[in-house]
Structure 1
Amino acid sequence: MPDRTLDFGKFGARGIKGSDAVARKLDELADGIVTPVTVKRGLMARLHYLTRTDHSRRAARDAGLTVSDRTLKAWLDERRRPSNANLERIEAAYRQVRRQNVARHLLRRLNAAGGTRVEIHPLNQSQVPRPLQRMVEYRAMNVRRWDRIVDAWSAGDHQALDDSWEDVIVDLGSQWGQYEYVTNIGFAA
């Protein structure tokens, strides 16, 4: 069984970790507010999302948005504008709270009907010298249990997500190590 890749890209291969591609796709599926936080409409939508209920306020505080209620009210009433650092905190808190809120729904959809078909697009070897290229092809597989992957993603735990994704790709057989880094992973829920 192959070990994890230690020196990815040494000969010119390009790609991203498979777990990062999965996280990117889950973020895309969970995406809510499209307008950037730097625009008034995007800022107001995020602030309303983060302050609508006591539960969302607590979740926003846990996610790192630790400003006073007075400051929050001034932002909502548009009497003051958040600094760039606070805009980043608002965006990060929104992403984390959004992940937690949609995780159960996504999990139910991904596990429905025996799992979800996943397409794995191999890494890009166009810059690798011919004698050093691997024979890597497009693969598809059915992922039946998404629980650990979605839990790690919603918690923002990159190491747990990486470990969970590795447990899934082991099902590809003895060549699973060739799919640790990919150009893209696609699935729908």
Structure 2
Amino acid sequence: MPQRTIEFGKYGADGIKGHLAVARQLDALVDYVTTPVTTPRGLHARLRYLTRTPHARAAARAAGLTVTDRTLKAWLGGARRPSRRNLGRIEDTYCTVRRHNVARYLLARLNRSGRGTRVEIHPLNQSGVDRPYQRVVEFRTLNVRRWDRIVAAWAAADDRALDDAWVQQIIDLGSQWGQYEYVTNVGFAA
């Protein structure tokens, strides 16, 4: 059974960890506000999302938005503009709360009542690797039926747990699973 890669890229291979590609794809499935937080419209949309109900306000505070109600009211009314640091906090808080809010819905879509979702795994790029060191790695597909741990780790932004959950899924590829720890892309739709 292969072990985890220790010196990835030593011979010139290019790719990213599989769990990061999964997180990127899950982020693509979530409808975030596309207008940048630096514009008045983007800022107002995020603040409205984070403050529209008492539950949303509590979630925003738990996620790290710790300004006073007076400051929030001034930002929403346009009387004051947040600093660059606060804009970063607003964006991070918004993404955290949004992930948490859509995780249950996304989980149901991906599990599809036990049928799962087909995942395409695109292997790492070996164009920079000298010929004698290249592996034979091919495009693979995998049907993931249990997304619970993956979505929970993604919603909590826990990289280590997401990596462990993803590796538990790619072990189903058999003895070659170590070749797919690093990939160029992981694709799936829900």
Per the shorter chain, which TM-score range?
Answer: over 0.9
Residue matched to 2:52: 52
Q: In the TM superposition, what are the counterparts of 1:74-89 in structure 2 within 5 Å?
A: 74-89=74-89
- For residues 44 and 57 of structure 1, the distance between their equivalents in structure 2, rounded to whole angstroms, comes to 15
Q: SS at 2:37's partner residue?
A: coil
Q: SS at 1:184's partner residue?
A: strand
Superimposed CA distance per residue, residues 109-157 of structure 1 (whole angstroms, 9 cap, x where no aligned partner): 0000500000000000100111101100000010000000001100111
Kindly tell me the number of residue pairs found equivalent between the two proteins. Answer: 189
Is 1:62 aligned with 2:58? no
Q: In the TM superposition, what are the counterparts of 1:163-182 in structure 2 within 5 Å?
A: 163-182=164-183
- Structure 2 length as normaliser, TM-score? 0.98
Residue matched to 2:30: 30
Q: Amino acid of the residue matched to residue 16 of structure 2?
A: I
Q: Amino acid of the residue matched to residue 92 of structure 2?
A: A
Which range moved further: 25-34 or 101-110?
Answer: 25-34
Residue matched to 1:138: 139
Per-residue deviation, 1:32: 2.0
- For residues 188 and 125 of structure 2, the distance between their equivalents in structure 1, rounded to whole angstroms, comes to 20
- For residues 31 and 156 of structure 1, the distance between their equivalents in structure 2, rounded to whole angstroms, comes to 17
- For residues 16 and 64 of structure 1, the distance between their equivalents in structure 2, rounded to whole angstroms, comes to 29
Superimposed CA distance per residue, residues 57-105 of structure 1 (whole angstroms, 9 cap, x where no aligned partner): 1111111111111111110010000111100000000000000000000
- For residues 166 and 41 of structure 1, the distance between their equivalents in structure 2, rounded to whole angstroms, comes to 40
- Structure 1 length as normaliser, TM-score? 0.98
Which range moved further: 17-26 or 29-38?
Answer: 29-38
Q: Amino acid of the residue matched to residue 123 of structure 1?
A: L
- For residues 4 and 160 of structure 1, the distance between their equivalents in structure 2, rounded to whole angstroms, comes to 15
Is 1:158 aligned with 2:182? no
* Regions of 4+ moved over 2 Å: none
- For residues 10 and 67 of structure 1, the distance between their equivalents in structure 2, rounded to whole angstroms, comes to 46
Q: SS at 1:152's partner residue?
A: helix
- For residues 60 and 106 of structure 2, the distance between their equivalents in structure 1, rounded to whole angstroms, comes to 21
Residue matched to 2:110: 110
- For residues 184 and 141 of structure 2, the distance between their equivalents in structure 1, rounded to whole angstroms, comes to 14
Q: Amino acid of the residue matched to residue 84 of structure 1?
A: R
Unaligned 5+ runs, structure 1: none
Residue matched to 1:187: 188
Q: Amino acid of the residue matched to residue 110 of structure 2?
A: L
Superimposed CA distance per residue, residues 23-77 of structure 1 (whole angstroms, 9 cap, x where no aligned partner): 0000110132111111111111000000011111111111111111111111001
Unaligned 5+ runs, structure 2: none
